[in-house]
Structure 1
């Protein structure tokens, strides 16, 4: 079970955005999947196109460093750093401990320019995300695909590859859910209650912020 504070983030979201009440159950289910993944040593893989590619970058930025809470490194890391660093340079250990923050592993596929452009040029552009999932995905990971229509081919192909590898899958879409709504592509589909792209994206941001807050509360919040 997640800490109550993790689920509280979803309650706060719905209080601020009442239109998202119908998404609450799916958002909580996504929190559960993500917590289970991180507990198992997994990572979050995120993909999307255009504005959704920017959202993928945004999500990774919130997870890989402190968001709302301090993420101080623990005694175990202090010992590891002392073992790794030259004993004559204790200031390096102090500097690292004072400035580095606990991270929740995450990667944005749109940011991987070398592989994406090489594969698009040499093979099939709509399979670029799928190729990246093939190379990076492990069964303990989660793939979050952001597609306002729910029909983006490259995201759907990535979901298929993720399923083949045993990853859990989450889709973040608009009101219709598109092809993702069938349940054939994603274990969970969070459908923002709008139909115009920019309005869907305006809801996507507080939704994924809430996922990040919930995860941070779970792994870095008070016991």
Structure 2
């Protein structure tokens, strides 16, 4: 049992090591943080969406930004599009599940806002629809997916393709990337004295 657990930890670590060794992954994470900083500094907001575990990541990252990450500072406007059950079920009922995020982007998004779109496969219909809606509004689109990328790459201004194809490994790497982005946003907008 211990060897099985150790193997799981090592597989996750291997994915993170591949990301760390890939300059394009590191550059993409840095660029995503900078795009978010630029939007927030200009008075814009971040919208975040994903399904299942990726919905939890969207909520988690929004919470880190609205509340705090490493230290106290003013809250930042970040909205997880995965949390309002009345909105989700209303849109799902009236327009279909594929529209649950796109409709919210249409209602809440403005040009210059940022959409964080998470899909481990890159093929989630509702995430793809949200990206299309964000593009139509002139928003910045940031995609988080696995190695294959699915249909997301042409819809994203920046896309992090984790070098893995197993959903839990991709999600674990997304969580690390999200924490890095939250930390960089916090530090760039509200530098803490050294």
TM-score by length of 1: 0.76
Residue number among 93, 100, 103 corresponding to 1:121 in the alignment: 93
Residue number among 101, 104, 125 corresponding to 1:153 in the alignment: 125
Number of the residue aligned with 2:187: 217
User: Alignment length, in residue pairs?
Assistant: 176
**Distance in 1 separating the partners of 2:85 and 2:138:** 26
How far 1:180 moved relative to its partner? 1.4
SS in 2 for 1:215: helix
Question: Do residues 207 (structure 1) and 177 (structure 2) align?
Answer: yes
State the Cα RMSD in Å.
Answer: 1.4
How is 1:59-208 mapped onto 2 (pairs within 5 angstroms)? 59-71=61-73, 102-181=74-153, 184-208=154-178
**Distance in 1 separating the partners of 2:37 and 2:29:** 12
Number of the residue aligned with 1:48: 50
Quick check: 2:34–2:185 contact (8 Å CA) kept in 1? no
Runs of 4+ more than 3 Å apart: none
**Distance in 1 separating the partners of 2:51 and 2:27:** 26
Between the two structures, name the one with larger relative contact order (CA 8 Å, sep ≥ 6).
Answer: 1
Question: Do residues 38 (structure 1) and 40 (structure 2) align?
Answer: yes
Question: Do residues 20 (structure 1) and 22 (structure 2) align?
Answer: no
Larger radius of gyration, structure 1 or 2?
Answer: 1
How far 1:129 moved relative to its partner? 0.6
How far 1:176 moved relative to its partner? 1.2
How far 1:70 moved relative to its partner? 2.4
SS in 1 for 2:132: helix
Structure 1 stretches lacking a partner, 5+ long: 1-16, 72-101
Quick check: 1:170–1:187 contact (8 Å CA) kept in 2? yes
How far 1:18 moved relative to its partner? 2.7
Quick check: 2:122–2:150 contact (8 Å CA) kept in 1? yes
Structure 2 stretches lacking a partner, 5+ long: 1-15
How far 1:68 moved relative to its partner? 0.5
Quick check: 2:41–2:189 contact (8 Å CA) kept in 1? no
How far 1:44 moved relative to its partner? 0.6
